[in-house]
């Protein structure tokens, strides 16, 4: 039973090490882009016919808008592309690690004297690099939208010279921006990686009926973590763009 | 001849176990309280149950995140 905290490089091209989770995320991205471009070619009807792809996608779209409206209020239209991208990418990245073949299909390599199986595929968000990247993008975009809507007045949130207590609160806000990065990254990584470890251990114990409820749990956790990441980003975006 | 068995405490395993055990205490209590308050609110006002449920799930995910931080430390300690 091999569980690795870090994603191992599986493809080495021109000195660049492609890790297994990066490889999986490339496959996922190509799939999503291909689907989007293929769907963009179809003629959209004003009233879609039942059981058509347009109907299903409109259902998902409206569901996402109604969920985001509880967090973002009237700024939903501005932030919807960003939030929907986070949601779709993270939920598919979480769920793709549950497919058969992930963690079992791999290459036998010799690392530090022992022969281990290096899996060829690994869940996209089970890698701290991916979640750290998503967290950095989210916090950077919060600052960007803050400056874009409030101008330089956005800095008044952090450097508030009205009094000693306000100054201290401003410094705390600055520190909490950095803690947001850590919190986003570790919440997503911890949930998904712990789920992978749990599934590996359960499959190792008794591979026949026992992993089933844990697979269901992982589906649920994947959905909830995507939702939490998206809603939290929306809440912080709304806080950053609102006049105090 | 009494064989001397030196009792060796494997501190690393102890640290791993304690990290997740103690780290799950606080979030466990917190999630219980959040769930309790949420259910109470739904009971008082069943019409707003959709909003309450969304906010409750969000609150539970935050509380669980703290337990996940401890789990990550335990996993890092275990695998290095």
Q: Say whether residue A5 is in contact with chain B using an 8 A CB cutoff.
A: yes
pLDDT at B6: 59
Task: Give CA A47 to chain center in angstroms.
Answer: 33
Question: Domain ranges in chain B?
Answer: 11-79
Closest B-chain CA to A126: B72
User: What is the pTM for the complete model shown?
Assistant: 0.87
User: Each residue of A165-181: pLDDT tens digit?
Assistant: 888 988 888 888 998 89
Report percent pLDDT > 70 for chain B.
92
Average pLDDT, whole number, for chain B? 87
Asked whether residue A2 is domain-assigned, the answer is no
Contact A186 B79 (CB under 8 A): no
Asked whether residue A131 is domain-assigned, the answer is yes
Task: Judge whether residue A234 has pLDDT over 80.
Answer: yes
Task: Judge whether residue B40 has pLDDT over 90.
Answer: yes
Q: Please name the residue that has the structure tokens 């963690």.
A: A103
Q: Say whether residue B5 is in contact with chain A using an 8 A CB cutoff.
A: no
Q: What is the distance between the alpha carbons of residues A218 and A7, in angstroms, rounded to a whole number?
A: 20
pLDDT at B5: 59
Asked whether residue A31 is domain-assigned, the answer is yes
Q: Say whether residue B51 is in contact with chain A using an 8 A CB cutoff.
A: yes
Please, which pLDDT band fits residue A102 given cuts at 50, 70 and 90? confident
CATH classification code of B11-79:
1.20.20.10
Average pLDDT, whole number, for chain A? 89
**Average pLDDT, stretch A101-108?**
81
* Max Cα-Cα span within chain A: 65
Of A3, A194, A231, the CB nearest to B79: A3
Of A70, A187, A227, the CB nearest to B65: A187
Asked whether residue A1 is domain-assigned, the answer is no
User: Could you tell me the sign of the dihedral formed by the alpha carbons of B40, B42, B43, B44, in that order?
Assistant: positive
- Chain B residues in contact with A191 by the CB 8 A cut-off are 64, 68
Asked whether residue A44 is domain-assigned, the answer is yes
pLDDT at A105: 83
Please, which pLDDT band fits residue A144 given cuts at 50, 70 and 90? very high
**A170: which 2 tokens?**
């401003």
Task: Name which of A11-20, A92-101, A135-144, B17-26 the model is least confident about.
Answer: A11-20
Of A3, A189, A231, the CB nearest to B72: A189
Contact A191 B57 (CB under 8 A): no
Task: Judge whether residue A136 has pLDDT over 90.
Answer: yes
Domain housing A206: 9-241
In angstroms, what CA-CA distances link A220 with A70, A91, A118?
21, 10, 27
Most confident of A14-23, A67-76, A125-134, A234-243: A125-134
Q: Is the confidence metric ipTM above 0.85 for this complex? A: no
Task: Judge whether residue A3 has pLDDT over 90.
Answer: no
**Average pLDDT, stretch B59-67?**
87
Which is higher by pLDDT, A200 or A42? A200
Please, which pLDDT band fits residue A139 given cuts at 50, 70 and 90? very high
Please, which pLDDT band fits residue A8 given cuts at 50, 70 and 90? confident
Asked whether residue A3 is domain-assigned, the answer is no
Total domain count, chain A? 1
**A127: which 2 tokens?**
């890698």
Is B64:B27 a contact under the CB 8 Å cutoff? Answer: yes
Q: What is the distance between the alpha carbons of residues A195 and B12, in angstroms, rounded to a whole number?
A: 23
**Average pLDDT, stretch B30-56?**
91
**Average pLDDT, stretch B11-22?**
92
pLDDT at A52: 84
In angstroms, what CA-CA distances link A239 with A58, A158, A181?
29, 13, 16
pLDDT at A244: 65
């Amino acid at each position: 039973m091999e569980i690795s905290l870090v994603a191992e490089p599986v493809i080495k091209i021109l000195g660049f090490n492609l890790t297994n989770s990066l490889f999986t995320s490339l496959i996922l991205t190509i799939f999503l882009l291909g689907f989007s471009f293929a769907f963009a070619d179809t003629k959209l009807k004003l009233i879609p016919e039942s059981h058509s792809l347009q109907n299903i996608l409109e259902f998902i779209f409206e569901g996402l808008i109604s969920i985001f409206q509880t967090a973002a209020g009237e700024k939903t239209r501005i932030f919807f592309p960003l939030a929907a991208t986070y949601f779709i990418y993270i939920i598919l990245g979480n769920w793709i690690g549950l497919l058969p073949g992930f963690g079992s299909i791999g290459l036998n390599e010799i690392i530090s004297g022992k022969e281990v199986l290096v899996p060829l595929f690994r869940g996209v968000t089970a890698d701290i690099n991916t979640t750290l990247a998503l967290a950095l993008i989210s916090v950077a975009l919060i600052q960007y939208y803050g400056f874009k809507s409030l101008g330089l007045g956005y800095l008044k949130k952090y450097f508030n010279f009205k009094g000693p207590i306000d100054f201290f609160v401003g410094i705390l806000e600055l520190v909490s921006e950095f803690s947001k990065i850590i919190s986003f990254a570790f919440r997503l990584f911890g949930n998904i990686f712990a789920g992978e470890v749990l599934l590996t251990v359960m499959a190792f114990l008794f591979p026949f009926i026992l992993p089933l409820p844990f697979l269901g749990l992982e589906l649920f956790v994947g959905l909830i973590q995507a939702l939490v990441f998206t809603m939290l980003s929306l809440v912080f975006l709304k806080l950053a763009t609102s006049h105090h | 001849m009494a064989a001397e068995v030196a009792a060796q405490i494997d501190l690393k395993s102890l640290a791993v176990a304690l990290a997740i055990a103690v780290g799950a205490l606080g979030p466990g209590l917190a999630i219980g309280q959040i769930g309790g308050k949420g259910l109470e609110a739904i009971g008082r006002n069943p019409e707003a149950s959709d909003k309450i449920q969304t906010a409750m799930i969000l609150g539970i995910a935050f509380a669980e995140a703290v337990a996940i931080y401890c789990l990550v430390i335990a996993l890092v300690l275990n695998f290095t």
